[in-house]
Chains A and B, each alone.
Chain A
Amino acid sequence: MLAPNDETDLAEAVAGAAGPLRVVGGGTRPIGKPVAGEVLSVAGLSGISLYEPGALTLVARAGTPVAEVEAALAAEGQRLAFEPMEHRGLLGTSGEPTIGGVVAANVSGPRRVQAGACRDFLLGVRFVDGRGTVLKNGGRVMKNVTGYDLVKLMAGSYGTLGVLSEVSFKVLPAPAAVAVLLIEGLDDGQAVRAMAAALGSPFEVTGAAHTPKGVDGAPVTMIRIEGFESQVRYRASALADVLAEFGEIAIETDPERTRAGWAWVRDVEPFHVLPGDVWRLSVKPSDGPEVAARAEADGLLYDWGGGLVWVLVPEGTDLRARLGAFEGHATLVRASEATRATLPAFQPEPAPLAAIAAGLREKFDPRGILNPGLMG
């Protein structure tokens, strides 16, 4: 295993690599085609290098534990607004999730629907390309259009274009209060319409999820409001009026219960103990129920107002074959190594886009040594 402790060592390790490298942060998100290669761990590049609460900016080395970043932010009443998902429970992994891993997989959570994804909060990156060259793009300021935006390109590239050494974020104040509106008993179509009404209201809904099977077996639709206390009170009540036609509405404001409820959605907890493969569909929200119905799933969980659908199917199922054509993409998130070796984890792209992606990989990693084949 290669375990560099700083960026210079990292660059040397990549430059000196004789064959394929399997890049890992905390190793908690084994998504994509299994890579045969020497492990290159970035965990040694750790620590927050700059945090200016007054500028809403945080810079950290890629191997910094997510927990360390979140604790530093919480101490100043701030947070990562994109609410990164924690994959250990769903994927049955151990280890310490790293901030570089969050970026490499563009990991977001329920608040993505309103605040944006990891890529939207990523201000800058430093990374080592497949030649072993240290590169930077973006920076630590919120508005920056200087040159091409390789920051976005690196987010979600799963270490196939470069190995991240440092990442910088825009962070946001954590609001003082939260309220969750709960509606029971809606079918998937009604739930998506209710969530659309909520998201289309002026009350800045920061979460809209639906489970056809809640903890006590009945369908539950959840709508989240965040802000200062009187604001949340006002908005929850105004939103309840908007949603009155969909059924009886309960309002939960207990901080611990609401936190646990959204962690349940964010981390796809209902599927943790159930066997089978887990897929993640990104679709036009109003298409969600119809596309999901084609999956003949053993379990479903809707987030992002219906735009994100978690699908549980028997092991080895080629979900894309069941779905047929749809607008969006399907990613295989949990499956055995054997299944991930045969079914493409990432949505195959139309030929012109696949050619562009292959061209980019060839430019950033001409030897094809960085997580080769992981993204297909």
Chain B
Amino acid sequence: MEMPVPSAAVLSKKARIVARLQEVLPEGAVIHEAQETRAYECDALTAYKCPPLAAVLPASTDEVSAVLRICHDEGVPVVPRGSGTSLAGGALPTADSVILGVARLNAVLETDYDNRVIRVQSGRTNLSVTGAVEEQDFFYAPDPSSQLACAIAGNIAMNSGGAHCLKYGVTTNNLLGVTMVTMAGEVVEIGGAHLDAGGLDLLGLICGSEGQLGVVTEATLRILRKPEGARPVLMGYRSAEAAGACVADIIKAGVLPVAIEYMDRLCIEVTDKFSGAGYPDCEALLIVEVEGSEAEIDEQLGVILQIARNHDPVELREAKDADEAARIWLGRKSAFGAVGRINDYMCLDGTIPVSALPHVLKRIGEMSEEYGLAVGNVFHAGDGNMHPLILFDANKPGDLETCEAMGAEILKLCVEVGGCLTGEHGVGIEKRDLMHDQFSGDDLEAQMRVKDVFDPAWLLNPAKVFPLAASAERRDFAA
């Protein structure tokens, strides 16, 4: 993975930059010793590592502003970092960059049940937002798999989704306002506890901009009352086609489950061995969850199970109590961890139209043969967001490169059938160089012009999202 050559001018003035940062931050909030900056050398895309020039951990919007002013003034690239769980390399530093970590910004500022909003600092973890309102039976809906660790700041940067977004939407649909600091250090307030923008929808633009337009320090989030109950049902099928047809029929029938999850044979076997979930022996497994009161759930599942039977299932298993529900989800929720125990893997994130599912799965199977790498498929079937897991051996020379080449081919296939490169993980560095497959040069130029407005010097997370060659002129000019 190519990254820009670090600026010699910035590297040579490290001592001055560190001293200036130390002037505006408390002791211990500026990390600059070589053995300590290594903690920030990568995020969850661990194949690529580079320690930053320094890392800072501000604890207030004012401190973030002070840091950005200094970096802006000194021409130092800044890489914002939530909890470092990005699978796309969104928080990968360069040697001449300052990592701006929001971990110390973790307070709840206000909970407001009457208006169904919560105001938090952006370093707060996703799950702890729900934790803060749970006693009143409320929750924050977006639920990425990494929700125990990932920060709201990162969720906003990547517009994160989760298993339940078929019903509740992704981050952008649940974000009402932000306090954001621009690269020049200016603090701006966008949105609030009211709905929709009074002018251009800048909130919608910032969400999913991968930390390239500003650093979000506070967020107003929509919270919802918890449903009375939820129950999953497990369905096993002999083929991907049968499972895919079942998904389409459920959606067409007018019942909208909160989640429809899919796993193929490889994932079923691996996760079952790892978690003891007791999954059936079959080619394709669906977990469908519905919400409501007991009677409402019975009625919805009645419709869903009837549809499921029409597609000749190997097994249908309805959870009879909370324990059985947990067992159904256990394997799915531990899928990435389970696969990680048996092998190195790369997790892709393309989205496809649901109707293209059988075709895409067949093509992925063929590519697996061609490249000689096994692939497991686990994904959100209701919205077409796939997560093919390509297994490779990091210790075998050339295997990572083969895996990346195969991953690129799968993502190009997603675009070809009318989908996109990334559904919820973001572009980062991982998909940066595939952007030309989805967008024309004009499309990319229009997006880069947006960054020109927010960050004319291209200092915020500059080497991400856009193909390096496409952004070179802007980054070089800025340097």
A363 touches B (CB below 8 Å): yes
Please measure, in the bound complex, the distance between the C-alpha atom of A106 and the C-alpha atom of B197, giving whole angstroms: 10
Binary interface profile of B, 365-404, with partner A (CB < 8 Å = 1, else 0)? 0000000000000001001110000000000000000000
Neighbouring B residues of A346 by C-beta, 8 Å: 198-199
Q: Is the CB of A135 within 8 A of B443?
A: yes
Smallest Cβ-Cβ distance to A349: which chain B residue: B199
Contact A153 B204 (CB under 8 A): yes
Residue in B190, B195, B249 whose CB lies within 8 Å of A353: B190
List of B residues within 8 angstroms of A286 by Cβ = 112, 114-115
Q: B442-465: contact bitstring with A at CB < 8 Å (1 yes, 0 no)?
A: 111011011111100000000001
Contacts of B435 in A (CB 8 A): 146-147
Contact B199 A147 (CB under 8 A): no
Contacting A55 at CB < 8 Å: which of B199, B248, B440? B248
Per-residue contact bits, chain B 140-182, to A (CB 8 Å; 1 contact, 0 not)? 0000000000000000001101000110011011000000001
Residues of B within 8 A of A228 (CB): 299-300
Partner of B200, one of A137, A156, A202: A156
Q: Considering the chains assembled together, what is the distance between the CA atoms of A57 and B355 in angstroms?
A: 11
What is the 8 Å Cβ interface bit string for chain B, positions 422-451, against chain A (1 contact, 0 not)?
111111000100010011101110110111
Q: Is A169 an interface residue, CB under 8 A from the partner?
A: no
- Cα separation A155 to B426 with both chains bound (whole Å): 22
Question: Is B186's CB within 8 Å of the partner chain A?
Answer: yes
Which of A38-46, A88-96, A326-334 sits within the interface? Answer: A326-334
Q: Are B254 and A174 in contact (CB under 8 A)?
A: yes
In the complex, what distance in Å separates the CA atom of A356 from the CA atom of B115?
29
> How many angstroms from the CA of A142 to the CA of B381 in the assembled complex?
11
Contact of A230 among B158, B173, B209, B295 (CB under 8 A): B295
Query: B299 and A202: CB pair below 8 A?
Result: no
**Complex partner residue of B446 from A120, A157, A328, A364, CB under 8 angstroms:** A364
Q: Please tell me if A112 contacts chain B, counting CB pairs below 8 Å.
A: yes
Q: Confirm or deny: A336 has a beta carbon within 8 angstroms of a beta carbon on chain B.
A: no
In the docked arrangement, what's the CA distance between A144 and B173, Å?
Answer: 13
Known: A120-B169, A282-B198. A147 touches B383 (CB 8 A): no
Chain A residues with Cβ below 8 Å from B196 are 106, 108, 112, 117, 119, 156, 282
Q: Is A27 an interface residue (CB 8 A)?
A: no
Identify B299's interface contact among A173, A230, A350, CB under 8 A: A230
Q: Which residues of B contact A106 (CB under 8 A)?
A: 196, 201
| A340 CB–B CB distance under 8 Å | no
Contacts of A200 in B (CB 8 A): 113-114, 116, 138, 225
Chain A: residues with Cβ within 8 Å of the partner, total of 85
A139 within 8 A of B: yes
Q: Could you tell me if A116 and B252 are in contact, using CB atoms closer than 8 angstroms?
A: no
Q: Which of A52, A57, A202 lies at the interface centre, i.e. has the most chain B CB atoms within 10 A of its CB?
A: A202
A272 in the interface (beta carbon within 8 A)? no
CB neighbours (8 Å) of B209 from chain A are 148-149
Task: Report the nearest A residue to B298, measured CB to CB.
Answer: A230
A67 within 8 A of B: no
- Cα(A161)–Cα(B203), bound, Å: 16
Point out which of A117, A161, A201, A347 has the most chain B C-beta atoms below 10 A from its C-beta. Answer: A117
B424 partner residues in chain A, CB cutoff 8 A: 143, 145
**How distant is the Cα of A146 from the Cα of B411 in the complex, in angstroms?**
12
Tell me if A85 counts as interface (CB < 8 A to partner B): no
B249 in complex: contacting residue of A54, A151, A356, CB < 8 Å: A54
Q: CB distance A149 to B172 under 8 Å?
A: yes
Complex contact B438–A327 (CB within 8 A): no
- Chain B, Cβ-Cβ closest to A284: B193
A167 CA to B335 CA, complexed, in Å: 36
B443 contacts A363, C-beta separation under 8 Å: no
Report the separation of the CA atoms of residues A133 and B383 in the bound assembly, to the nearest whole angstrom.
31
**1/0 per residue B118-130: CB within 8 Å of A?**
0000000000000
Instruction: Give the distance to chain B from A9, nearest Cβ to Cβ, in Å.
Output: 18
Q: Which residues on the B side are within 8 Å of A161 (C-beta)? A: 200
Distance between Cα atoms of A55 and B166 in the complex (Å): 11
Complex CA distance for A363 and B327, rounded to whole angstroms: 53
- Identify which of B166, B198, B424, B440 gathers the most chain A CB atoms within 10 Å of its CB: B198
Q: Taking the complex as formed, is A100 at the interface, i.e. its CB lies under 8 A from any CB of chain B?
A: no
Q: How far is the CA of A56 from the CA of B196 in the complex (A)?
A: 24
Residue B227 is within 8 A (CB to CB) of chain A in the complex = yes
Asked if B236 is an interface residue, CB under 8 A from chain A, the answer is no
Interface hit among B30-38, B61-69, B413-421: B413-421
Q: Chain B: which residue is nearest A118 at the CB level?
A: B196
Q: Which residues of B contact A350 (CB under 8 A)?
A: 188-189
| Chain B residues whose C-beta falls within 8 Å of the C-beta of A231 in the assembled complex | 292, 296, 299
Residues of A within 8 A of B353 (CB): 52, 55, 57, 140-141
Compute how far the CA of A28 lies from the CA of B424 in the bound complex, rounded to whole angstroms: 37
* B108 contacts chain A at the CB level, 8 A cutoff: no
Known: A147-B427, A230-B295. 7 other contacts (CB 8 A): A141-B352, A152-B205, A193-B114, A200-B138, A202-B137, A227-B296, A327-B192
Give me 15 A-to-B residue pairs in the complex whose CB atoms sit less than 8 angstroms apart, sorted by A's number: A54-B252, A112-B196, A139-B418, A148-B209, A152-B201, A173-B254, A176-B254, A196-B115, A227-B296, A282-B194, A284-B115, A286-B112, A353-B199, A357-B202, A363-B446
Chain A positions within 8 Å of B, measured between CB atoms, are: 52-57, 76-77, 106, 108, 112-113, 116-117, 119-120, 129, 133-137, 139-153, 155-157, 161, 172-176, 193, 196, 199-202, 227-228, 230-231, 234, 282-286, 304, 307-308, 327-331, 346-347, 349-350, 352-354, 356-357, 359-360, 363-364, 375-376
